[in-house]
Chains A and B, each alone.
Chain A
Amino acid sequence: MLPLSVKDDEYKPAKFNLLLKLSGWFRSILADKTSRNLFFFLCLNLSFAFVELSYGIWSNSLGLISDSFHMFFDCTALLAGLAASVISRWRSNDSFSYGYVRAEVLAGFVNGLFLIFTAFFIFSEGVERALEPPDVHHDRLLPVSVAGLLVNLVGIFVSSHGHSHSLFNGSVNHGHAHGGHEPESKHGGHGHSHDGHAGHGHSHDGHAGHGHSHDGNGGHGDSHSHGESVLLHIIADTLGSVGVIISALLMQKYDLMIADPICSMLISLLIGVSVVPLLRESIGILMQRTPPSLDQALPECYQRVQQLQGVYNLQDPHFWTLCTDVYIGTIKLLVAPDADRRWILSQTHNVFTQAGVRQLYVQIDTAAM
């Protein structure tokens, strides 16, 4: 029979429509609450950075220009987190049998690393300034630092509402680090332009948000309890901003220029210390470590499985985290030749499902008689 209609568009190869792809990513970003917040924060940061850059070029202030570059650097950290949130939703394919869910963990790790680099960088800057104090204009420092504190409080509220499972909330705080900056213009210089004493204050304040994000992940059953780590982070953050304000006052009243580098060194140390839990968690996941929340539950499961009828031994258990709350495990059972394998399999799966491991691979080896 002759075909009654010819539909040519069915046979057209799929065109690479960039606009379509972009709008698809856009939609998926706006769909999830955390990534939406992250996206808005990224826009805020980017616009701030552009404003700073144009102002710096217009007023020919090197300090503003290089500070805007720092903000761009932070924006890349935010972008990494955002990219991870889009990528981790892609379907699994031939090259990625588990899908792309690990991207979130990786992004959290990368952001933690960048935070440490920033802390190291601020520390080295502080050392350089301590050895050769440049001229710091502290007139506008006090109101700027207070303004920065306010901006970071906003950031705290923003990220505390988004209880996300993702580890990349660290990037939100990294973005805080140079947000709300208004650096003074520098004169004469050896080009050490990061005025941002206020900036250092900010970079520390951002970490209260970090505390919240960490607790959002605390579904793992971290060693810290929820309330305790939140309190710790808030205390650390207020100390940081109080430190900035104190040093600003010191410089205004007593002309104690050394307060600036000391303050930034302290702040960089605080940043480093506060990012350590995030790093430990993501390193644990990336190193295929047994999930910390299963540490107590697993030996009991092994006991129960070994008590099943026909099971001689449980060997080679490997349990690891794929992404937050998704655990995968493989074990090998040594069973008697006359054991009911199906029953053993389903029972084993039940035992581990109760513990929270849903993807389980049980290999059954018959013991040689």
Chain B
Amino acid sequence: MTCEPNRVRLLCMLSLTFAFFIVEVVVSRMTSSLSMLSDSFHMLSDVIALVVALVAVRFAEKTHATDKNTFGWIRAEVMGALVNGLFLTALCFTIVLEAVERFTEPHEIETPLVVAGVGAAGLLINLLGLCLFRGHAGGGHGHSHGGHSHGNKNKRGKTGKSQKAGNGSSGEETNNLVASHNSPGDARPRNEISSTDSADVQMNGSPHFEEMEHDAASQLNMRGVFLHVLGDALGSVIVVVNSLIFTFVWQPCGKEEMCVNPCINSHISDHQHVNHTLVNLLEGTTMSAMKYAGPCWVLYLDPTLCIIMVCILLYTTYPLLKESALILLQTVPKQINMNRLNQRLLGLEGVLAIHELHIWQLAGSRIIATAHIKCHDPTSYMEVAKRIKDFFHDEGIHATTIQPEFVTFNSESRDSLCELSCRTQCAPKLCCGSADKPNAGSDKKASSYCKAASASGLEVIVETPEQAAGVEAGTRSEAAITVAREVESSL
């Protein structure tokens, strides 16, 4: 399966990171360095992010419908991406917290060389991870995986617009990696080049459709992992840079010599004593015996770099969060224009009116649409249905459910108020519009039934008289529906 490379990558990275976490904990115990311990917890959070992504990939492989999950588990990857994005945001917050602490109470690194060594090892591992996941971040940018990328490019060609937004932000990430600390503004011209490159490679053929859906969804997940590993890599870079500067620039206070550390505002009780000594020495002529600990700005380098890193991370995580949250909020996919779709549907032969058109994205490129279509009579319905299905297929929506409603020219009874879709419970929640046009014929039983159900404790929408009447032209029905919507909204 196409997901195998993903899983193998994730497992690889997971085992590496976990091993490194163990190493860091052991080293921190041996050198009793607290910063190493807290860095190891960062590694642990990386492990957790990878586990989340792995679980999501594992679940999303089961695309078949189960009893409880009729859509399968495809959404798991979107959830995995959201969880990873949120996790990153929470981590950024804790990093900011620690940085602020360091600002107010700076302290020096005890054994900078050991820290530098471990930091370099961590950086190596993270760079390896970045290379592993780089292909995914760029949306199949890497050419290293044969059939996998074929499916990717195919998808890009077919639903080019849908991936453009995804491409834009993920292209930024690869540019971030390549040009390591360039500002994202610089990356924009290269962005354009990368997207036209990929659009040029147009392969056709739709047999890879399932792979396409899967790839599109799993890309979101892998992007989350990539961002996490990127954050960790940046952290390791900061650790290495800081400890190197510390080794070469900082002159520490040795224990035997009499020296004072002017940078650290310690609360120890011999503060007064030190002050006195300082004052005495300053008054004295011989200053050579006194040593001062190294330049103070070195101590503030660490938190400053951390805050810069947090800004970079937040900037790159925001698109991921936004995209996955929008999918979970049942938004209409970006490439679909509801108005235009509506008008084109109305333009189809045999379609009188459309109600309750809902289009939403399950995951990746799998889009689901539902609608009520009003047409003349059951005999013409079959052709109309076929036309509508083809229309949706052209738009890229392959899972549609169309409910037919038939128009008759008999007089409709007034009391058939609540009809095929009594959505009375929605009124206070504002999740939907008004009910449909009433249906004809043998609805006396239906309406009384409906009324009984609605009388049992739910609020009933009072329909506007126009709707109860029955046969209307499409435009008028739309107007009535929008009027009812306006009435219901409380804002």
Chain B residues contacting A101 (CB-CB under 8 Å) are: 429-431
Whether the Cβ atoms of A28 and B490 lie closer than 8 Å is yes
Among residues 240 to 285 in chain B, which have CB atoms less than 8 Å away from a CB atom of chain A? 266-268
Interface size class of A (residues with CB under 8 A): 35 or more
> Least Cβ distance of A14 to chain B in Å?
14
CB within 8 Å for A323 and B453 given contacts A98-B330, A346-B420, A358-B426: no
Whether the Cβ atoms of A361 and B441 lie closer than 8 Å is no
Most B CB atoms within 10 A — which of A66, A73, A340, A342? Answer: A342
Chain A residues contacting B41 (CB-CB under 8 Å) are: 124
Chain A residues contacting B87 (CB-CB under 8 Å) are: 113, 117
Whether the Cβ atoms of A128 and B332 lie closer than 8 Å is no
Q: Is B27 an interface residue (CB 8 A)?
A: no
Q: How many residues of B contact A (CB 8 A)?
A: 89
Whether the Cβ atoms of B421 and A349 lie closer than 8 Å is yes
Chain A residues contacting B104 (CB-CB under 8 Å) are: 62, 65
CB within 8 Å for A117 and B71 given contacts A89-B430, A349-B420, A358-B424: no
Most B CB atoms within 10 A — which of A89, A91, A287, A366? Answer: A287
Whether the Cβ atoms of A326 and B439 lie closer than 8 Å is no
Whether the Cβ atoms of B491 and A345 lie closer than 8 Å is no
Whether the Cβ atoms of B430 and A288 lie closer than 8 Å is no
Whether the Cβ atoms of A295 and B68 lie closer than 8 Å is yes
Chain B residues contacting A354 (CB-CB under 8 Å) are: 453
Whether the Cβ atoms of B98 and A191 lie closer than 8 Å is yes
CA of A24 to CA of B491, assembled, Å: 7
Q: Is B432 an interface residue (CB 8 A)?
A: yes
Digit string of B96-111 for contact with A (CB within 8 Å is 1, else 0)? 0110111011010000
CB within 8 Å for A106 and B325 given contacts A286-B75, A287-B75, A362-B403: yes
Chain B residues contacting A24 (CB-CB under 8 Å) are: 491
Nearest opposing residue in chain A for B78, CB measure: A286
Q: Is A360 an interface residue (CB 8 A)?
A: yes
Return the contact of B338 from the options A94, A359, A361, A363 (Cβ within 8 A): A94
State which of B156-164, B291-299, B443-451, B472-480 sits at the interface with chain A: B443-451
Chain A residues contacting B371 (CB-CB under 8 Å) are: 361
Whether the Cβ atoms of A114 and B90 lie closer than 8 Å is yes
State which of A136-144, A238-246, A249-257, A314-322 sits at the interface with chain B: A314-322
Return the contact of A361 from the options B83, B372, B485 (Cβ within 8 A): B372
Chain A residues contacting B37 (CB-CB under 8 Å) are: 128, 131
Q: Is B288 an interface residue (CB 8 A)?
A: no
Whether the Cβ atoms of A106 and B329 lie closer than 8 Å is yes
CB within 8 Å for A188 and B268 given contacts A69-B100, A89-B430, A94-B332: yes
CA of A90 to CA of B441, assembled, Å: 37
CB within 8 Å for A286 and B79 given contacts A326-B426, A330-B370: yes
Chain B residues contacting A318 (CB-CB under 8 Å) are: 70-71
Chain B residues contacting A322 (CB-CB under 8 Å) are: 330, 431
Among residues 371 to 425 in chain B, which have CB atoms less than 8 Å away from a CB atom of chain A? 371-372, 378, 381-382, 385, 401-406, 419-425
Q: Is A290 an interface residue (CB 8 A)?
A: yes
Return the contact of B38 from the options A62, A89, A128, A288 (Cβ within 8 A): A128
Among residues 1 to 59 in chain A, which have CB atoms less than 8 Å away from a CB atom of chain B? 24, 28, 31
CB within 8 Å for A290 and B69 given contacts A103-B329, A117-B87, A361-B370: yes
Q: Is A220 an interface residue (CB 8 A)?
A: no
Chain B residues contacting A331 (CB-CB under 8 Å) are: 401
Nearest opposing residue in chain B for A123, CB measure: B41
Whether the Cβ atoms of A189 and B404 lie closer than 8 Å is no
Chain A residues contacting B7 (CB-CB under 8 Å) are: none
Digit string of A122-159 for contact with B (CB within 8 Å is 1, else 0)? 00100010011000000000000000000000000000
> Least Cβ distance of B393 to chain A in Å?
15
Whether the Cβ atoms of A191 and B105 lie closer than 8 Å is yes
CB within 8 Å for A359 and B423 given contacts A117-B87, A287-B69, A318-B70: yes
Nearest opposing residue in chain B for A351, CB measure: B449
Q: Is A102 an interface residue (CB 8 A)?
A: yes
Return the contact of B107 from the options A95, A191, A319, A340 (Cβ within 8 A): A191
CA of A66 to CA of B32, assembled, Å: 24
Chain A residues contacting B183 (CB-CB under 8 Å) are: none
Whether the Cβ atoms of B70 and A290 lie closer than 8 Å is yes
Q: Is B94 an interface residue (CB 8 A)?
A: yes
Q: Is B318 an interface residue (CB 8 A)?
A: no
CB within 8 Å for A102 and B328 given contacts A121-B94, A287-B76: yes
Whether the Cβ atoms of B102 and A91 lie closer than 8 Å is no
Digit string of A312-343 for contact with B (CB within 8 Å is 1, else 0)? 00000111101101100011100000001111
Q: Is A364 an interface residue (CB 8 A)?
A: yes
Chain B residues contacting A96 (CB-CB under 8 Å) are: 329-332
16 A–B contacts from the bound complex (CB under 8 Å):
A28-B491, A92-B432, A95-B331, A97-B332, A97-B359, A98-B431, A106-B325, A114-B90, A117-B86, A128-B37, A190-B34, A287-B73, A322-B431, A341-B406, A361-B371, A365-B385
- B residues with a Cβ closer than 8 A to A are 29, 32, 34, 37-38, 41, 44-45, 48, 67-71, 73, 75-76, 79, 83, 86-87, 90, 93-94, 97-98, 100-102, 104-105, 107, 266-268, 325, 328-332, 337-339, 356-360, 362, 370-372, 378, 381-382, 385, 401-406, 419-426, 429-433, 439-443, 446, 449-450, 453, 485, 489-491
- A residues with a Cβ closer than 8 A to B are 24, 28, 31, 62, 65-66, 69-70, 73, 88-92, 94-103, 106, 110, 113-114, 117, 120-121, 124, 128, 131-132, 187-191, 193, 283, 286-290, 295, 317-320, 322-323, 325-326, 330-332, 340-343, 345-347, 349-350, 353-354, 358-366
Give 8 closest A-B pairs by Cβ, nearest first. Answer: A330-B401, A346-B446, A191-B101, A361-B370, A94-B338, A97-B358, A101-B431, A117-B90
